[in-house]
Amino acid sequence: MKIAVIGTGYVGLVTGTCFAETGNQVICVDVDREKIAALQKGITPIYEPGLEVLLTRNIKEQRIAFTDDLETAAKEALVIFLALPTPSGEDGAADLRYVLQVAERLSGLITSYKVIVNKSTVPVGTAEKVSAILSEKLSRGLFDVVSNPEFLREGVAVDDFLKPERVVVGAGSERAIKIMTDLYSPFVRQGNPIYFMDARSAEMTKYAANSFLAMKISFMNEIANLCERTGANVDWVRIGIGSDQRIGKRFLFPGIGYGGSCFPKDVLALNLTAQEHDYEFQLLQSVLTVNALQKRRIVQKLNRYFKEQLKDRQFAIWGLAFKPETDDIRDAPSIEIIRELLTAGATVTVYDPVAIENVRKVFGDQLIYSDGQYEALKDADALLILTEWSAFRNPDFEKIKNNLKAPVIFDGRNVYSLEKMKELGFHYESIGRSDVH
């Protein structure tokens, strides 16, 4: 099948590459010519395990190409995916300008039947808006607009696309349903479902899924905070409730709040949708409040330990990405924590396996950037662990001790056991567990 993917960001690039991997002819379109030139050489603008290997292979096999020529891509493709940015505006609403602008352009380019697929995360009713724009210049028989939300987890996005738990498609015509079924059949050969529904329900499904997961994280963070006050250990509580199949084990790890490109934006957008429909979504509002407060927990612990004297202290940070196996720092808790430390007059040295350059773009020369995890510790008053990269799980604790001014660790991801930290002689504070002195 001939496919066009408009937008080569995180979702667009994974989508295009994985469709090419199953034998389709894919052309990806972007306005950024520098990015297009890099992609044509197989250089990805994002870090995602496994993606570059697939991209290189499909470029070599001539199954995927990159261009800034929307007209050619639109005319050649049967299915056109819109994988465009929908950033949050000041009020939390998803900004649809890029989606609607491309829809306007497509309305002047389409001359034969196309399926236009909203792959971007968009508010309920967006498919209808796109359809209305296309209908201004095109007869209704020349297109169908479909909602096909993505459920990709950064760090395992390639596997998620190639082996999806489910595929959700919001479509109203049998013709579009048949094409989308043919397109996704290779990905669900083991029997995982393709759910067909109306476009509004598909759009709501994406927001509801992410908001529910964000709620689980925030609930567990509240439990962790209560555990600290009552003397309970959140690790045991998590295991105890996670074994209940009605609750499940995933998204129950407490920490310093959720971040990334999806949860913060989608929770805000769904809350705004509720407000626009005169509904007070109290639970969702609480999720937003809890997450904002949770990002401040580490700095609160630092202030307590250092008796509100953070000025002129030096802190080493391990982990900057919002989660492991990605270089994405969008809404990462680390960014807010760094800002608070700088405002308090502290010096901050940072290390992350892949996200350093993205952080440098935000803070410039305000930080000290380290090429090695142990180099970052030299003469620091404490180590802060903000992302649970595998490389941090079994470090050389003697090196940590020798480089720090004192053996002090504040762990925002509960990477180490309390027993081990006590045995090694660290002052260790984590989330939802007793402090080790």
Active site residues: 262
Q: Are the beta carbons of 109 and 74 closer than 8 angstroms? A: yes
Q: Dig out the tokens for 316 from the structure.
A: 């080493």
Using only C-alpha atoms, the chain has a radius of gyration, in whole angstroms, of 24
Helices 199-230 and 263-276: angle between axes, nearest 10 degrees: 110
Q: How far apart are CA 45 and CA 39, in angstroms?
A: 8
Comparing CA positions, the residue from 142, 188, 189 lying closest to residue 169 is 188
Buried b (16+ CB within 10 A) or exposed e, 79-98: bbbbbbbbebeeebbbbbeb
Distance of CA 307 to the CA centre of its chain: 35
Tokens 């197989």 belong to residue: 42
DSSP 317-330: EE--SSSTT----T
Beta bridge partners of 146: 117
Q: What CA dihedral angle connects 54, 58, 60 and 66, to 10 degrees?
A: -110
CB 313 within 8 A of CB 381: yes
Residues in CB range of 67: below 8 A, 6 or more apart: 27, 28, 29, 36, 73
Single-letter residue type at 311 = K
Tokens of 16: 């295009």
Q: CA-CA distance, 162 to 84, in Å (whole number)? A: 21
Q: Are 175 and 144 in contact (CB under 8 A)?
A: yes
What's the residue count for the chain? 437
C-alpha to C-alpha distance for 288 and 271, rounded to whole angstroms = 9
